[in-house]
Copies of this chain bind each other. A is one copy, B any other.
């Protein structure tokens, strides 16, 4: 296990900077997550780890995802289906558009939600502390692949 082709993933770096130990399981998971094209569930990570015989336990996957979510290295999505999924991401407040076909997710920087939040606060009297905005649709690739929704269908 000497050949560690020197590329600490951003996740590993984040863990390190936050003072977490860089253990083998965490490195493995970081690398697995880096490989994910779209969003992924905890269960999928567990499977992926088992398939590659990485010897990472289920509990560790959950624990690591929790840590990573705290660090903002990963964000938890609530899919319309009710499932919880994750996407790797940069640690800054932002939102995602999630492709409902392939699961790929793109980050959106600032969508100018601020004024809306302020307006809501004014209307309702709530102090709005936190929010979650999730967008679902089709990514450019899936849009292109799909023959275009003519109204032929009945």
Contacts and interface: CB of A to CB of B under 8 A. Distances in A.
B136 A129 contact: yes
9 contacts: A106-B126, A111-B119, A116-B116, A124-B140, A126-B135, A128-B137, A131-B134, A132-B136, A133-B133
Contacts of A123: 108
A78 interface: yes
A139 B116 contact: no
The 5 closest A-B pairs by CB, nearest first: A78-B78, A125-B140, A128-B137, A130-B136, A129-B137
A131 to B, nearest CB: 5
Interface of A: 76, 78, 80, 82, 84, 97, 99-100, 106, 108, 111-113, 116-117, 119-121, 123-140, 143
Contacts of A117: 135
Given A108-B120, A123-B108, A138 B143 contact: no
Contacts of A126: 97, 99, 106, 135, 137-140, 143
Given A108-B123, A120-B135, A128-B137, 10 more contacts: A76-B82, A106-B126, A113-B116, A116-B116, A127-B137, A129-B136, A130-B136, A130-B137, A131-B134, A132-B132
A127 B136 CA distance: 8
A104 to B, nearest CB: 10
A91 to B, nearest CB: 17
B128 A97 contact: yes
Contacts of A78: 78, 132
